[in-house]
């Protein structure tokens, strides 16, 4: 959506090593995310998907390796200059991580209020606009996070992640805990927003349906490395044993279109 000067890759990860104590979770991992694509990251539960995402956004310190987001090197997440350089990102945490003492409207306005100087009227209008873009009603703005259902929480969290129109959004299992209809709607929503806003989406997911319908590319994380990356149909051809087990297991077979 931006112009020529912008780098080709939204996220570049080179030779990343992350571990806790003696346990190495991410082992010399390299990954490039192209601008404007939706990249799905799959991996075993506890295999380091969330760790990788949290390392990219600077919440977990790394042992070695380089991370670039929108052409800017990433330091620690609290470092505001890093964030600014990264062109601001939006993050959808697994549990939403909405501020429980603020209303939905205030939650969405929070990044606006903190980062920009603008009138309250405009802020209210933007909050309503974002709410409607994620498929909620303006009236929902007065609710508090504890009064929201799981699906609504995810939508509000997405609206907050999008408040500053970031170039990149990170989604941590956006459809987990949603019923298939709500999950399908959420997928469609992310796709629509990605198209209208020109977002780059980095999505940790277990939802095979999301991968088929939504992701431009899917990366498989196993043994701390990216073992396969590419569009869904390429991944299905992969020879790596874990990837085969993941996509050709019983549950996956049930979901696959007959053609594949």
Footprint of another protein on residues 122-181 (CB under 8 A)?
122, 125-126, 128-130, 132-133, 138-139, 144-147, 162, 164-165
Scanning the structure block, which residue is given the tokens 């806790």? 20
Edge-first strand order for the sheet with 64-69 is 23-34, 9-20, 64-69, 72-73
CB of 155 to another protein, least distance (A): 14
CB of 112 to another protein, least distance (A): 8
Report the residue number, 198 or 249, with the smaller CB distance to another protein: 198
Report the residue number, 19 or 150, with the smaller CB distance to another protein: 150
Report the residue number, 41 or 199, with the smaller CB distance to another protein: 199
Q: Does 97 bind another protein (CB under 8 A)?
A: no
User: Measured between alpha carbons, how far is 100 from 144 in angstroms, rounded to an integer?
Assistant: 7
Report the residue number, 66 or 147, with the smaller CB distance to another protein: 147
Q: For another protein, which residue of 114, 117, 120, 254 counts as binding (CB under 8 A)? A: 117
Q: Select from 3-11, 50-58, 200-208, 236-244 the region that touches another protein (CB under 8 A).
A: 3-11
User: Measured between alpha carbons, how far is 107 from 197 in angstroms, rounded to an integer?
Assistant: 21
Q: For residue 52, which phi and psi values (nearest 5 degrees)?
A: -60, -45
Report the residue number, 49 or 105, with the smaller CB distance to another protein: 105
Q: Does 198 bind another protein (CB under 8 A)?
A: yes
CB of 100 to another protein, least distance (A): 4
Q: Does 101 bind another protein (CB under 8 A)?
A: yes
Report the residue number, 4 or 45, with the smaller CB distance to another protein: 4
Q: Does 120 bind another protein (CB under 8 A)?
A: no
Q: Does 112 bind another protein (CB under 8 A)?
A: yes
User: Measured between alpha carbons, how far is 107 from 101 in angstroms, rounded to an integer?
Assistant: 9
- Residues engaged in binding another protein (CB under 8 A): 1-3, 5-6, 100-101, 112, 115-119, 122, 125-126, 128-130, 132-133, 138-139, 144-147, 162, 164-165, 195-198
């Amino acid at each position: 959506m931006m112009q020529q000067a912008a780098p080709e890759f939204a996220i570049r990860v080179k030779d990343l090593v992350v571990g806790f104590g003696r346990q190495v979770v991410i082992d010399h991992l390299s990954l490039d995310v192209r601008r404007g694509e939706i990249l799905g990251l799959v991996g075993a539960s506890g295999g380091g998907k969330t760790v990788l995402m949290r390392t990219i956004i600077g919440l977990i310190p790394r042992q070695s390796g380089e991370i670039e987001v929108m052409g800017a090197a990433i330091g620690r997440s609290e470092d505001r200059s890093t964030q600014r350089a990264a062109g601001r990102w939006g993050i959808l945490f697994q549990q939403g991580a909405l501020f429980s003492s603020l209303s939905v409207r205030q939650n969405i306005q929070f990044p606006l209020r903190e980062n920009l100087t603008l009138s309250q009227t405009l802020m209210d209008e933007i909050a309503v606009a974002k709410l409607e873009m994620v498929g909620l009603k303006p009236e929902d703005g007065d609710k508090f996070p504890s009064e929201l259902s799981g699906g609504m929480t995810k939508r509000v969290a997405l609206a907050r992640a999008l408040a500053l129109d970031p170039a990149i959004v990170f989604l941590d299992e956006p459809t987990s805990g949603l019923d298939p209809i709500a999950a399908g709607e959420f997928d469609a929503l992310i796709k629509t927003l990605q198209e209208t806003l020109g977002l780059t989406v980095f999505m940790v997911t277990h939802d095979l349906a999301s991968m088929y319908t939504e992701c431009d590319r899917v990366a498989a994380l196993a043994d701390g490395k990216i073992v396969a990356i590419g569009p869904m149909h390429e991944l299905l051809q992969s020879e790596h044993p874990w990837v085969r087990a993941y996509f050709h297991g019983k549950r996956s077979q049930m979901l696959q279109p007959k053609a594949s």
